[in-house]
Amino acid sequence: MKRRRSWILMGLAVALTTTLRGPMTQAATDDWQVPPPTGAQVVAAIKHGADFLQQQQKPEICWEPGRHSITASGYQERGGESALVLEALLYAGQSLHLPELNIFSPQMQAAIKYVASIKTHDTYVASFQANAMALLPPKREYMQVLHRDRKFLAASISRGGGYSYRWPGADGQTVRQRGDWDNSNTQYGVLGMWACGYAGLHIPLSYWQRVGEHWRRYQYPDGTWGYNGHLHRPAAGSESSRPDSMTPAGLASLFIADEFTHTAAPIEPVPDQNIRRGLNWLMKNFHPDNTDIYVLYGYARVGLACGLQNFGDRNWYNVLASELLTLQGHRGDWHAGIVGPPQVDSDIIGTAYAMLVLDRGLNPIVFNKLQYGTHYYGQWNARPRDDANLTSWMSRTFETPLNWQVVNIASPVSDWLDSPILYIAGHQDPHFSSSQLAKLKAYVGAGGIIFSNSDGGSKVFTKAMAGYAQAVAGPQYRVVKLPPTSPLYTLQPWFHSQRPPWLLAVSNGARYLWIISPRDMAATWQRRLFGIKEDWEIAANLYFYATGKAPLANRLQSLVVAPPAAQPKLAIHVAHLKFKGNWNPEPGAWPRMAQLAAADFGTAMTVRNQSILTLNAHTTPLAVLGGVGTFRLTPEQIAHLRAYLNKGGTLLVDSIGGGPAFTAAFQAVQTELYPGTLMRQLPDHSRIYTGRVPNGVDASVVHYRKYYVEKNGVKSDPDLMGIKRHGRWVLLFSSEDITSGLLGTNTWGIAGYMPTSAQKLVRNMLGYVMAEHAPALQVKGKAAK
């Protein structure tokens, strides 16, 4: 993982089945029935848009229609379109790692050189230029441009905090007038200065205070903003009445200003009434089917700035992505269609805006912050910028575009599974109901990790979280204080905490399920106190732990498995064996594999937890014995298991987490199961590896988790052991974890296969067993021939 703090990749400062899915509200069902696009579809749309923009690039003037861009207001804005397009291309290239958008390619170099050469007195141009330059390495020539933009934007803001199209006074020739501004230019002036600040330039606090005062002063009582400042709302339909575009502009600008002016870390929420009114209006007036891409861009800015997953009852990114994919032209372009002001009619500008909406919103989500109260400003959110500031720091530090998000406890757990970490903050007991606790348990069972922070070091909150963690994990596990050797303190070898260990956690033996910080780390994030390194670096360790040091998937690649497109034609029953010991540390793993079997290869796989003594090879041809730690089986269990195998059953044994204790314990069991018979490695040509089984796939080359590779070295061959009797494998054993991979997660500390490889191996094992055991193989309810 790269670790350069020198330059930024900008992110805008920005029962299980019922529990996981849950019912949609009537509003959501009626208003938006189109399923969200897949991550692959969005990436393809972005690439298509990038291709279109690069095809439109012209020598010397890049994407300008001429030497100057003429707006409807008559201003000449040389370089504005090119700077906006460059920002979109740079962001797409860096977040999606597109080689054709590498900054050293000749075409991108020409665009960078042109945009860097612009010396402007135009607010839009300076803003777009600053946002583009902030995406580049901090070379002297780029930093000089940012210094120039900062100087212009600092000088051209009015005394009341607004911006207009141009300010010739930047060269000392014209005096700036107080009332000469509009809210469209103002939002871009603020966004440009924000880019300068995050590129490392100093922006005085007084600037952000002036910006905040402007937007608060000109907000209408209903929570909206218009294009110009009026004491009363202009007549509907006038060019000054544009709440659909200017209200998102006002909200996004206030969130930016608050990031720098609201740096206290109270334990009781301090509601920002202007933001509250604006959000209340937006929740009721969100129209994703608006074809004005300027408006859609505004929606996305607010979504990324406030973190909310939903506007009203709809996932704002999902519906915006669906709308934009519908609007994309066959050339890869989007038409701007901005009705004004400012009036813009340009496929190039429309495409750049659309790409920014799709690309920025698609970034992986590190922390989902749990809203367990009714209002945006509740105990859960006493520090509204804690998660935002932490995510922004991670993006800059590790050169990885990341997002954060707020999810509601009333939403189905499936809505939470686009992030590996659920963050809960507060200082009082939230008094979770039994149904809410069931959702937290379902999230953890699906592979998620919960992290809770005690605001103000609250002992009441710490005690409550420990109790909920114990209830979620179960009585067989205990909340304990983590030792200094925990990966949460040691994952980054260059970082060594100077504080005594303070974190609490509960583990299932393979991974942490819930982590508690009795010390108030979030206050440091909210206040942006970068000198307190432990609070940032421990959070980074949690990020690496949850991701296994592997790249996070984008927000549309959830752990939720889509239902099958057609009725499964094959069926198999699988027994998940219970024994005295830690036999089910990952209760969500095999049920999820059953969902994958139905969706991916048309097999109805039924998984039942059952005793070894009830095994029946005729009805249940495959049994799974997995666990963590040591265990023993009774002579009666061993005898029944032997009889099951001899009658045609197959046993898969998995050391969950890849720990040595379970492996050693099973080796002792195996000597009793088949005395005098040793397990041997499956040959390279085994059908379980080659996939020469019903619905099989090639699993002859596999990938191991980074943790495994660090401990054992690089290898790509599967490594199953087994016992073969009468020409078939009756026992399959993996000392490398398979079960955790069925969850689809990459948690650190697990010695085993990456999820895709684990799922391929299990798929082939199912096919092998079905091929060997004809009664279990059914085609439309009839036994296979």
- Residues 133, 227: Cα–Cα separation, whole Å: 28
* Least confident segment among 121-125, 225-229, 448-452, 552-556: 225-229
- DSSP string for 448-507: -EEEEEEGGG-HHHHHHHHHHHHHHH-TTS-EEEPPTTSHHHHSSTT----SPP--EEEE
User: Is the bond leading into 138 cis (omega within 30 degrees of zero)?
Assistant: no
Return the SS3 of 372: coil
Closest CA to 728 of 689, 759, 758, 771: 771
Instruction: Say what the pLDDT of residue 118 is.
Output: 94
pTM: 0.91
Count Cα neighbours of 508 within 13 Å in the Cβ-side half-sphere. Answer: 27
3-state secondary structure of 268: coil
267-315 tens-digit pLDDT: 999 999 999 999 999 999 999 988 889 899 999 999 999 999 999 999 9
Q: Cα(first)–Cα(last) distance of the chain, in Å? A: 52
Place of tokens 């709308």: 323
Q: What is the pLDDT of residue 229?
A: 66
Is the pLDDT assigned to residue 258 strictly greater than 60? Answer: yes
- How many CB atoms are closer than 10 A to CB 396? 21
- CA–centroid distance for 641 within its chain: 43
The structure tokens listed for 355 are 């790409």
Contact between residue 444 and residue 415 where contact means Cβ atoms under 8 Å apart: no
- Radius of gyration from C-alpha coordinates of the chain: 29
Q: Write out the two tokens for 311.
A: 């506007």
Cα gap 301→149, rounded to integer Å: 22
In DSSP terms, which residues pair with 517 in a beta bridge?
453
- Nearest to residue 230, comparing CAs of 218, 243, 213, 212? 218
**pLDDT, average across residues 725-741:** 96
Residues in the chain: 785
Split at pLDDT 50, 70, 90, the class of 367 is very high
Angstrom distance (rounded) from CA 522 to CA 386:
6
* Predicted local confidence at residue 11, as pLDDT: 30
Inform me whether the pLDDT recorded for 769 exceeds 60: yes
CA distance 535 to 537: 6
Place of tokens 């996070």: 552
Give, in order, the Cα–Cα distances in Å from 676 to each of 45, 352, 668: 60, 70, 12
Phi-psi region of 732 (alpha: psi -120 to 50; beta: other; left: phi over 0): beta
Binned at pLDDT 50, 70 and 90, residue 3 comes out as: very low
| DSSP class of 775 | G
Report CA-CA distances (Å) from 660 to 198, 259, 509, 734.
47, 48, 12, 11
Mean of pLDDT values over 536-551: 96
**Rounded alpha-carbon distances, angstroms, from residue 184 to 41, 127, 236, 512, 589:** 32, 12, 18, 47, 50
Which residue pairs from 374-378 have beta carbons closer than 8 angstroms and sit at least 24 positions apart in sequence?
375/271, 375/276, 376/271, 376/275, 376/276, 376/279, 376/306, 376/308, 377/269, 377/270, 377/271, 377/272, 377/276, 378/269
Whole-number percent of the chain with pLDDT over 90: 81
pLDDT band at 622; cut points 50, 70, 90: very high
Dist CA 13 CA 253 (whole Å): 10
pLDDT band at 34 (very low <50, low <70, confident <90, very high): low
> In angstroms, rounded to a whole number, what is the distance separating the alpha carbons of residues 606 and 170?
72
Task: Assess whether pLDDT exceeds 70 at residue 186.
Answer: yes
Structure-block tokens of residue 15:
């029962």
CB–CB of 715/729 below 8 Å? no
Q: Which residues contact 372 (CB under 8 A, 6 or more apart)?
A: 378, 380, 409, 424, 426, 430, 432, 436
Give one DSSP letter per residue of 177-239, joined into a string.
Answer: PTT--BHHHHHHHHHHHHHHHHTT----HHHHHHHHHHHHHT--TTS---SS--SSPPPTTST
Phi, psi (degrees; rounded to nearest 5) at 558: -80, 165
| Range of lowest pLDDT (32-36, 674-678, 774-778) | 774-778
- Decide if 404 contacts 421 (C-beta within 8 A): no
The per-type count for the chain, helices as H runs and strands as E runs, is: 27, 18
Q: Does residue 241 carry a pLDDT above 60?
A: no
Q: How far apart are CA 492 and CA 418, in angstroms?
A: 25
**Mean pLDDT score of the chain:** 89
Mean local confidence (pLDDT), 499-521? 97
Q: CB–CB of 584/592 below 8 Å?
A: no
Rounded to an integer, the average pLDDT of 239-244 is 61
Please compute the mean of the pLDDT values over residues 498-522 and round it to a whole number.
96
Pairing of strands 504-507, 603-611: unpaired
Condensed to tens digits (0 to 9), the pLDDT of residues 396-437 reads 999 889 999 999 999 999 999 999 999 999 999 999 999 999
The C-alpha atoms of residue 224 and residue 767 are separated, in whole angstroms, by: 60
- The pLDDT of residue 690 is 97
